[in-house]
Amino acid sequence: MRILLTGQNGYIGALMVPMLRQAGHEVVGFNSELFEQNSLHQGTQKLPQLTKELRHLTPSDLKGFDAIIHLAGSCNDPLGNWNTHLAHEINYTASAYLAKLAKEAGVTRFLFSSSCSDYGASDQQWLREESPLHPVTLYGISKARAERELAKLADANFSPTFMRNAAAYGASPRQRFDPVLNNLVAWATITGQASIKSNPCLREPIVHVEDISRAFLAALHAPREVVHNQAFNVGRNEDNYRIQDLTEIVAEIVPGFQVTNAKEAETGQDCYRVDFSKIAQTLPEFQPQWDAQQGAKQLYVAYQIIGLTCEGLLETRYEHLPHIPETLGNERLHQLRNRKAQVLASAAG
């Protein structure tokens, strides 16, 4: 297949590109390069790219593609909370616009990177793809709304598929440190301690970033009728972890790691267990290779290799939120970064 991959230089995309190529697909990238310097190491593959801004794309630019994998988007709530309009434009408006262009261009498959955050807070014991969506974060709201808009485009010639990823973890050439396991291992490596600001009994489903790529490949290779206008939770049932479980795993990996719970812990708005039975039964090609223990070991080794320090963790090239002010020159985000640096330095001391 000839595939257009948005966000190919991002946290997930940097690992998905070689997997797609190894599977024999021709891959063309489309990326804003907002986070071009956000690399853990030099390991991303160069791709031919569409260089136009999204708003300037036309259906003719998308002619000849068999599928679009849409990974690009705002990936953290701090960005959304700073600028709700920007987060909405990136995750909802741009996604809907790209899908409409793809349909006009005759692209038949559209794989959308969504999130288990779509479910939000719920009283259900297990959340399945047919469960009601009650997102409580700006990120989840924008993703859920994009899904609804893309579903309206589905017909005999255009098949959207919604990949609701659990919270990602693991090492990537374009590393992120904000996911919970990545962050725990980072602070354990640097300082030997961490302060948990959320209820340690809260649950969060997680999935390794490589296994997310495997799920997209499985959906891409599946017959059209199997994935047409369908949502798939991406992960495994056994990987619904409590925060306490993850801290214990990290303590087993990193010598001397100690955890304290903040006196005024945040209750957290997302607390759920997700059922991943559908993807296991419907897409047998999807065979996850990682669990939290293996991922924590991988992260610990990677952080040691690069000599990660407290200062390095705060460097703009490693975190999306601090990098934006250097790209956009916004004073408000400079203030947020400085405040964050002061808090983290105090905790480390």
Bridge partners (DSSP) listed for residue 274: 127
Distance, in Å, from the CA atom of 308 to the CA atom of 237, rounded to the nearest integer, reads 32
Contact 49, 33 (CB under 8 A): no
Q: What is the pLDDT of residue 220?
A: 98
* Amino acid at position 200, single letter: P
Q: What is the pLDDT of residue 56?
A: 82
Distance, in Å, from the CA atom of 231 to the CA atom of 318, rounded to the nearest integer, reads 31
For the chain, domains (ranges, CATH) are 2-168+205-234 (3.40.50.720)
**Residues in the chain where the model's pLDDT stays below 50:** 33-39, 41-42, 79-80, 268, 316-349
For 197, other C-beta atoms within 10 Å of its C-beta total 13
Sign of the dihedral through C-alpha 7, 57, 77, 308: positive
Type and span of the H or E element at 183? helix 180-191
Question: Tokens 């994998």 correspond to what residue?
Answer: 69
CA distances from 143 to 19, 87, 116, 132, 242 (A): 25, 10, 10, 14, 24
Contact 298, 228 (CB under 8 A): no
Q: What is the pLDDT of residue 76?
A: 54
Q: What is the pLDDT of residue 238?
A: 96
For the segment 125-180, what is each residue's pLDDT rounded down to a tens digit?
799 999 999 888 888 888 999 999 999 999 999 999 999 999 999 999 999 988 99
Q: What is the pLDDT of residue 38?
A: 42
Q: What is the pLDDT of residue 16?
A: 97
Contact 232, 283 (CB under 8 A): yes
Contact 101, 58 (CB under 8 A): yes
Query: Which has the closest alpha carbon to 166: 297, 293, 291, 67?
Result: 291
CA distances from 341 to 161, 183, 281 (A): 40, 15, 45
Region for 257 from its dihedrals, namely left if φ exceeds 0, alpha if ψ lies in -120 to 50, beta otherwise? beta
Q: What is the pLDDT of residue 83?
A: 55
Type and span of the H or E element at 79? helix 77-82
Contact 6, 30 (CB under 8 A): yes
Q: Pairing between strand 203-208 and 240-242?
A: antiparallel
Contact 69, 220 (CB under 8 A): yes
Contact 275, 130 (CB under 8 A): no
Q: What is the pLDDT of residue 198?
A: 66
Q: Which residue intervals of 274-319 are DSSP H helices? A: 277-282, 292-306, 310-314
Q: What is the pLDDT of residue 195?
A: 75
Contact 107, 61 (CB under 8 A): no
* Amino acid at position 296, single letter: A
For the segment 167-213, what is each residue's pLDDT rounded down to a tens digit?
999 999 999 988 999 999 999 999 998 877 666 668 889 999 999 99
Q: Give the predicted TM-score (pTM) of the model.
A: 0.85
> Phi, psi at residue 112, to the nearest 5°?
-105, 125
Bridge partners (DSSP) listed for residue 208: 169
Distance, in Å, from the CA atom of 62 to the CA atom of 50, rounded to the nearest integer, reads 9
Q: What is the pLDDT of residue 341?
A: 41
Measured in residues, the chain has a length of 349
